[in-house]
C-alpha cells in the first residue's frame, strides 16, 4: 500500500478544525502506546504526547520534575464522547494500583466541569470512589507538548510514510497536529484503523 503527499493533505483538509473538537488528557504509562491507540479510534482527530500533572515549568524528557507522561486527545464530540474515552482509559489499567514513579503514573486530568461530572458519574456507576482509587484524578493546569521525536513515535519508524509527509511539506509541528499522522501512527502500532486503510488506498 502506498501513502501519497496528496492523500495526506486531502485527509487533513477534510478533518474537523481544532475549534470543532474538544480535548481530553490522560496518563497511562509511557505515552508512545496511548498516542497510537487513541489515534486509531474513530472520532479522535488529533493526538499529542506531552507532560502534565506536575509543578515544574517547561519540563523536558531529560528534566521532567514531578510531571507525568500523558497523551492529549482532540476528539469530535459528535462522533465519540468523553465518557467513551474514559471507559477506554479504565480498561487499560488497574484503578486499584499505581506505580510509584510519577513519570509513568495513571492519571485522568479533567479540563472542564462537564468532564469532571462525566468522570464522577463513570466512577459512581462502577462503585468506585475518586478518593479510594489508585488512579490520580486531577484538574489539568497545563499541558506541555513533548519533544518532536516523541510525537507519532511509531509512525516515525516507517521511512516510506515519513518520506510522504516530508514531500507534503510537513515539519515536526505539522506532523504532531496532523489527523492523518494520528491515524497512521495507530495503524503502524497494530491498532488497526479503517481510516488508515482509506488513506493508504487513496490515489
- Residue 136 — φ and ψ, nearest 5°? -75, 130
**Local confidence band at 1 (pLDDT 50, 70, 90 cut-offs):** low
In angstroms, the CA 27 to CA 62 distance is 18
As a whole-number percent, the residues of the chain with pLDDT over 90 amount to 88
In angstroms, the CA 116 to CA 111 distance is 8
pLDDT tens profile 47-105? 999 999 999 999 999 999 999 999 999 999 999 999 999 999 999 999 989 999 999 99
C-alpha closest to that of 89 among 55, 118, 64, 65: 118
- Residue 172 pLDDT exceeds 90: yes
Residue with cell 501513502: 3
**Local confidence band at 197 (pLDDT 50, 70, 90 cut-offs):** confident
Q: What is the pLDDT of residue 6?
A: 94
SS3 for 161? Answer: helix
Q: What is the pLDDT of residue 203?
A: 52
Q: What structural domains and CATH numbers belong to the chain?
A: 5-193 (3.30.1060.10)
Active site residue 15: no
In angstroms, the CA 41 to CA 120 distance is 23
Q: Which three cell numbers stand for residue 97?
A: 494500583
Average pLDDT over residues 112-132: 92
Q: What is the pLDDT of residue 138?
A: 96
Q: What is the pLDDT of residue 200?
A: 81
Residue 71: beta bridge partners?
26, 49
In angstroms, the CA 199 to CA 109 distance is 32
SS3 for 19? Answer: helix
In angstroms, the CA 105 to CA 101 distance is 7
Would you state the torsion angle of the CA atoms of residues 113, 116, 117, 123, taken in this order, to the nearest 10 degrees?
180
Quick check: 109 and 54 in contact, CB under 8 A?
A: no
- Residue 202 pLDDT exceeds 80: no
pLDDT tens profile 8-23? 999 999 999 999 999 9
User: Which pTM value belongs to this model?
Assistant: 0.94
pLDDT tens profile 140-169? 999 999 999 999 999 999 999 999 999 999
Q: What is the pLDDT of residue 95?
A: 92
SS3 for 23? Answer: strand
Q: Which of 30, 79, 174, 202 is catalytic?
A: 30
Amino acid at each position: 500500500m502506498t501513502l501519497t503527499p496528496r492523500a495526506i493533505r486531502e485527509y487533513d483538509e477534510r478533518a474537523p478544525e481544532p475549534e470543532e473538537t474538544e480535548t481530553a488528557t490522560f496518563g497511562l504509562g509511557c505515552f508512545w502506546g496511548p498516542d497510537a491507540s487513541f489515534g486509531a479510534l474513530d472520532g479522535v482527530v488529533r493526538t499529542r504526547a506531552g507532560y502534565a500533572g506536575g509543578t515544574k515549568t517547561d519540563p523536558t524528557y531529560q528534566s521532567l520534575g514531578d510531571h507525568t507522561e500523558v497523551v492529549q486527545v482532540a476528539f469530535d464530540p459528535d462522533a465519540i464522547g468523553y465518557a467513551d474515552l474514559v471507559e477506554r482509559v479504565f480498561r487499560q489499567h488497574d484503578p486499584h494500583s499505581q506505580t510509584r514513579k510519577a513519570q509513568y503514573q495513571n492519571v485522568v486530568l479533567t479540563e472542564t466541569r462537564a468532564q469532571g461530572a462525566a468522570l464522577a458519574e463513570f466512577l459512581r456507576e462502577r462503585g468506585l470512589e475518586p478518593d479510594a482509587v489508585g488512579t490520580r484524578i486531577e484538574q489539568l493546569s497545563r499541558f506541555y507538548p513533548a519533544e518532536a521525536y516523541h510525537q507519532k513515535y511509531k509512525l516515525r519508524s516507517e521511512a516510506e510514510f515519513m518520506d510522504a509527509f516530508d514531500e507534503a511539506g510537513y515539519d515536526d509541528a505539522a506532523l504532531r497536529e496532523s489527523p492523518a499522522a494520528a491515524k497512521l501512527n495507530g495503524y503502524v502500532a497494530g491498532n488497526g484503523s479503517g481510516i488508515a486503510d482509506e488513506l493508504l488506498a487513496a490515489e
